[in-house]
Chains A and B, each alone.
Chain A
Amino acid sequence: MNALIIFALLIVLMLSGMPISIALGLTVLTFLFTMTDVPVQAVALKLFTGIEKFEIMAIPFFILAGNFLTHGGVARRMITFATSMVGHWHGGLALSGVMACALFAAVSGSSPATVVAIGSILLPAMIKQGYPKSFGAGVITTSGALGILIPPSIVMVMYSVSTNTSVGKLFVAGVIPGLLLAFFLGLTTWVLARRKDYPRMPRSTWLQRWQAFRESIWGLLLILVVMGGIYSGIFTPTEAAAMSAVYAFVIAVFVYRDLRLVQIGKVLLDSASMSAMLLYIITNAVLFSFLMTSEGIPQAMAGWIMDKGLGQISFLLVVNLLLLLAGNVMEPSSIVLIMAPILFPVAVALGVDPVHFGIIMVVNMEIGMCHPPVGLNLYVASGITKMGISELTVAVLPWLFTMLGFLLLITYVPQLSLWLPRLLFGG
């Protein structure tokens, strides 16, 4: 009964359009004032202690690192490199779009920024070569979402915070699914391009490839700083994030010279306000899950599902549908923070591996970014291509189906996510 009231209140407040953090907080306050005798004082304390964990601090550092490198110059280098590698195949420019999106998204950490950066450079070039506008828009919109699966990923840090799963393992687990999804998106592009006979680019020489690689490697090394640092045990994940922020600063200012020193203040301010927004959702989500736990809701749900005899397979299917539905209305971080504490205990009770469950959630978030009606990537893409949402919806369909197929693959073949972390970390 209480569970119903809590959820109904939360959903009504959210649908009224107020910020998600406020809706969460007001739900908790209303419930505490009217229905329980948990001391309200505890709320104020939770507001502080909710984010008083060193692990959470990886989020602002990763955002800062990403913002230093979210620059047109970096995007151009990634595109040049990608084109020199895959441009000579069928649909050359579109394929380099997939690859450049994967690289830029991993480094910048923001899907919408990737769509804008890669899209506004690559789409005009594609149209000039004779590609239909919708083809280019479909490729960039969907590939832009690759970033949250390829480490470092902020959504993964969110998941690890709300379920106490190791960030390092999650990052490593995302590598193979990330590369695989990039491969599948590329394959879809290649098959379509071959059938329609879209233009190819002249093959680059190895010298050109080497030069393009040398230009883009500085940005890509960021991934290595994070992964290498965490895996070898030199840094904790949060330290790795801070080091990557300093590294990104040095690269952007002294190596690439994209940023002038006067612009640093702006980057700091933007990163701070973006992090503060996320940390504010985290604090209120912690309050909310504190309320849920004190009402015993996740446990009750786990018990109910076990009673129904719902197996792993059908549970994961329900989870996927639920997350895709949520992906329609909210952005990834909020979904993970609200849903993970509720679904995680059930998943664990049914024997799903915590890391695997995290990867399933992240892939769902990725699809949510680009499926209609309100995927954020769709909106951004509609801005740069001046195409309507319904027109874009048709344009992304081939890649969207590829992603849905990929989701099923990831859900029911746990080895894809678990093989690499098991190999590296044991267990």
Chain B
Amino acid sequence: MKFLDHLEEWFIAFLMAAATLIIFVAVIHRYASGLPIPVVQDFLLRLNTSWAQELTIYLFVWMAKFGAAYGVRTGIHVGVDVLINRLNTPLKKKFILFGLLAGASFTGIIAALGADFVYELSGTSSTSEVLELPIWIVYLAIPLGSCLMCFRFLQVSWNFARGGELPVHDHAHVEGLVEDAAEGRQ
């Protein structure tokens, strides 16, 4: 389990960094190849970076699907809790569980639909426009990501039902503030 957690974290952080670097390099390349430096310009013009945009989109879509699953584990997906916060504790607990299970069933259904969709695509020879990757591999993000997300929802509801704490994400976390101020936020 710990292994899966770390893999997930490394994977999405890596996708984020990779996408940023790719766009950065592509932009630098676009302007650098306009500079009239003899040998360098010839070399740069021979490089083709038209795939950068498409690759970035795919990296981010994968990051979005797996990052959403990570978010379930850290409690970043928030909802409207004005109403249920006014309920008494046992009733509120039931509503929270209902919400978590609704999340699990939605992502479960999407995983099934996505798997079916990808299975049909894998029979065709359609590819992405620039990179010419088989499209079903690209779309594999939907069933895989949704599956993981469904698992995370079930995991969180299981822990919560057995009396555990609900993960809560702190939207206002700031690094590098003085100690006493950080305590004040508790």
Residues in chain A within 8 A of chain B (CB atoms): 13-23, 25-26, 29, 40-41, 43-45, 47-48, 51-54, 57, 60-61, 64, 70-73, 75, 110, 112-113, 115-117, 120-121, 124, 234-235, 238-239, 242-243, 245-246, 258-259, 263, 265, 268-269, 271-277, 279-280, 283, 328-331, 373-374, 376, 380, 383-384, 386
Contacts and interface: CB of A to CB of B under 8 A. Distances in A.
A72 B117 contact: no
B16 A268 contact: yes
Given A17-B79, A23-B79, A276 B68 contact: yes
Contacts of B171: 110, 112-113, 376, 380
Contacts of A243: 23-24, 27
Interface residues of B, number: 67
Contact of A274 (B76, B81, B83): B76
Contacts of B172: 110, 112-113, 115-116, 380, 383
B82 interface: yes
A29 B70 CA distance: 23
14 contacts: A16-B79, A20-B79, A41-B113, A72-B178, A113-B171, A117-B174, A268-B13, A275-B60, A275-B67, A280-B71, A376-B171, A383-B172, A383-B184, A384-B181
B9 to A, nearest CB: 6
Nearest to B141: A48
A355 to B, nearest CB: 26
Contacts, number: 225
Contacts of A53: 57
Given A16-B84, A41-B113, A383-B184, A64 B16 contact: yes
B82 A329 contact: yes
Given A258-B176, A330-B80, 4 more contacts: A17-B95, A19-B77, A61-B20, A276-B66
Given A44-B116, A116-B174, A258-B176, A57 B60 contact: yes
Interface of B: 9, 12-13, 15-17, 19-21, 23-24, 27, 31, 53, 56-57, 60-61, 63-68, 70-71, 74, 76-84, 95-96, 98-100, 102-103, 105-106, 109-110, 113-114, 116-117, 139, 141-142, 171-178, 181-182, 184-186
B102 A13 contact: yes
B152 to A, nearest CB: 12
B96 to A, nearest CB: 6
A19 B71 CA distance: 11
A47 B142 contact: yes
Given A45-B117, A276-B68, A242 B23 contact: yes
A51 B74 contact: no
A416 to B, nearest CB: 30
A113 B103 CA distance: 28
Nearest to A234: B31
A17 B174 contact: no
A144 B73 CA distance: 29
A243 B15 CA distance: 17
Contacts of A116: 172-174, 177, 185
A384 B71 contact: no
